[in-house]
Chain A
Amino acid sequence: MNCDRITLMMSAALDNELSPAERAEFDAHLANCAACHNEWAELRVLDNSMKAALTSPVPDVPIDRIMEASVRKSDSPSVTIVKTEHTKSSRERGRPVIVLGMLATVVMAGLVIFQLSAEARPVGEVTMATGPLEMKRPNAREWVTLDASSHTILPENVRIRTRETSLCEIRTKADALVRLNCETELLLRCPEKLELISGELWCRTSSRSSIEISTEKVMEAPPMAFTCPADCETQWQSKPNHELACTAISSSPIDLQIERPHEVCTVKPGEAVSFASGQPPVPAGHSDQTNATSWQLPLLIRKKPDDQELQQRLVSILAKIGQTKVRHLSEQQLRQLGPAGTVPLLKFVGSAESLQSPRLRYNAMTIIADLAPPAAIGELEELLQDDDQTIRELALQALRRLDPDRK
């Protein structure tokens, strides 16, 4: 495939509009052509800049002015000039307020006409948590405790923090998924801008939007800001002396755009890079991606047992048991999840896909045999009919543990 054709494909590749076969050809060419790889990197930098210029934030929809002028009876049918308020830039205006008092009727089932102040503009929501969280709204003095079970809508410039034993997951309005480790504090400036105050977070950007991760503004050091491109996974850790470390979790290199100075730092899968204000990036070692993200397991097991991401993570860990120097660590990670962790493991053992991996099924069953709760009895009894004798024996072992009177 020649470079001209690749260049023509770059825009579509950027927007995830290539077919899987085209994308495979595209990636294969980039891996072997430095010129195209550089052009691709430049295009991604441009894309991030365009998003920052045009979408952070997008111009407000002036619903109030449209509605007010639309329903005014004295309007002439000819051209009407709307008195717009340009004393501030459109990006500084507060969110539009619907003037309901002027209208004859409101509402239909299924329609939500809402009123938002600039402070309450939603930028994301907490989708799940393993324990209580704390939230502090802009200009508030106190932190408030959030219940772990509530789906809390997060307004602009809110601070959220996890406690010693709690994790949480946030989905931003830019469709990025963010997970906070224990004792982590995050400031959500807008759907595309996150400020890591302390602790550790993992972030997966959507296929269409980038995310900016920055450090807190402090006296001792100017803030640092990095743009993670669309469709990538990174993990960020706040370090002492206002340093920030980034680990690339994605399976392909990640081009982080660094603000001030404008440059791109490419982080390879599994590699960590440490950033300090005013200093060049410093390699900070290589880590196993499965282990690096294992802290998220207590969150992930709250998803549906057949959730694709959960199953993939479990399979990665199961594959390490008995195979690596850290095999005990891998098994320990799963055992620490307790009985709740056996639910997705049972889903895995019962899946048709797992039949291709008898060793992984065995690894899962040894944990299930020791930890499966009474609610799993039905699935365990089904496994008594499994074709694999070892699986049948371990299922029986679990059933006898749960019911000592069972023969």
Chain B
Amino acid sequence: MLGDSDMTDGDLVRLVVAGHSATYGVLARRWYYRILAFCQARVSRGRLHDAEDLTQEVFIRGYKKLGSLAEPDCFGTWIRSIASHACADWGRDQQQFRRHLQAIGQTTDLLSMTSVNSLGSNEDRDQIMQQVATLPDDLREVILLHYYENLTYDDMARWLEVSRATVNERLSKARGLLRIRLAALRSNV
């Protein structure tokens, strides 16, 4: 498969620290969607573009601090802790971030997104994204993580540091809420 590597995270980190900067792209690609789901669960209204900006920021910070990672094989949990701090910074400086993006003309409202090659309804997609955005943070994260990364329940449990039963419970609740809310919206059309 193009772009994949059989090397461990620890091997990749050591390569980057040794000067093979390009290798960081493999690490970023490997963890991108988990961090995206993490950030999107924590930015206000789950706005995808804000989450993408934040995720990129996380990986840039990660690159700069990579030399300080004491356990290279723990890159995943380490980059998540960076994401946690970045989200906290975002929460404090959101207005500053937004002003900057507006100044350079690079904000796009999530609801006005269109997609190419879609035979389906954008209105449906927008409704779904709106309802995902209204979920509680813990439910939103598990839903995004599941659909972005297609992880098993065990893998999600390890990443979220909860039990497998909790993963099941959160996915069930999230889907239950989405089903009810989307049905209510459609019946009002």
A interface, CB within 8 angstroms of B: 7-8, 10-12, 14-15, 17, 42-43, 46-47, 49-56, 58-59, 61-63, 65-67, 69-71, 75, 77, 79-87, 89-92, 98, 100, 103-108, 110-114, 122, 157, 189-190, 193, 208-209, 212, 214, 223, 225, 259-260, 262
Contact = CB atoms under 8 A, between A and B. Distances in A.
Contact of A90 (B48, B59, B100): B48
A66 B100 contact: no
B106 interface: yes
B17 interface: no
Contact of B57 (A17, A80, A212, A259): A80
Nearest to A116: B2
B188 interface: no
Given A11-B175, A111-B5, A112-B3, A77 B118 contact: no
Nearest to A207: B150
A62 B56 contact: yes
Contacts of B61: 80
Q: Which of B48, B113, B119, B146 has the most chain A CB atoms inside 10 A of its CB?
A: B119
A79 B148 contact: no
Interface string B20-63: 11111110110011001000000000001100110011011101
Contacts of B24: 66-67, 70
A100 to B, nearest CB: 7
Contacts of B6: 110
A8 B23 contact: no
Contact of B36 (A59, A77, A86, A208): A59
B101 interface: yes
Given A17-B168, A52-B120, A43 B22 contact: no
B153 interface: yes
B114 interface: yes
B82 interface: no
B184 interface: no
A223 B23 CA distance: 44
Contact of B108 (A62, A86, A111, A212): A86
B59 A92 contact: no
Contact of A58 (B2, B60, B148): B148
B185 interface: no
Contacts of B153: 12, 15, 17
Contact of B119 (A82, A86, A113, A193): A193
A108 B33 contact: no
B161 interface: no
Contacts of B59: 66, 70
A248 B118 CA distance: 25
B7 to A, nearest CB: 7
B172 to A, nearest CB: 4
Contact of B101 (A59, A81, A92): A81
Interface residues of B, number: 71
Contact of A92 (B33, B48, B56, B115): B115
B2 A50 contact: no
A82 to B, nearest CB: 5
B160 interface: no
B129 interface: yes
B158 interface: no
B143 A100 contact: no
Nearest to A118: B116
B163 interface: no
B113 to A, nearest CB: 4
A61 B35 CA distance: 11
Contact of A91 (B56, B115, B121): B115
A53 B54 CA distance: 21
Interface in B66-103: 89, 93, 97, 100-101
A54 B172 contact: no
Nearest to B128: A53
A102 to B, nearest CB: 9
Nearest to A63: B25
28 contacts: A15-B146, A43-B175, A49-B124, A49-B182, A50-B178, A56-B120, A59-B48, A61-B32, A61-B33, A66-B25, A66-B56, A67-B21, A67-B24, A70-B63, A70-B64, A81-B101, A89-B108, A90-B52, A92-B114, A92-B115, A98-B22, A98-B25, A100-B22, A106-B20, A108-B23, A110-B6, A113-B22, A212-B119
> Top 3 A-B pairs ranked by shortest CB distance?
A70-B63, A89-B113, A54-B147
A15 B64 CA distance: 38
A106 B22 contact: yes
Given A17-B152, A82-B56, A89-B113, A11 B171 contact: yes
A11 B36 contact: no
Contacts of B26: 111, 113
B106 A79 contact: no
Given A46-B179, A63-B25, A85 B19 contact: no
B152 to A, nearest CB: 7
A208 B108 contact: no
Interface in B97-141: 97, 100-101, 104, 106-108, 113-121, 124-125, 128-129, 132
A79 B93 contact: yes
Nearest to B112: A89
Contacts of A107: 20, 22
A63 B21 contact: no
Contacts of A53: 124-125, 128-129
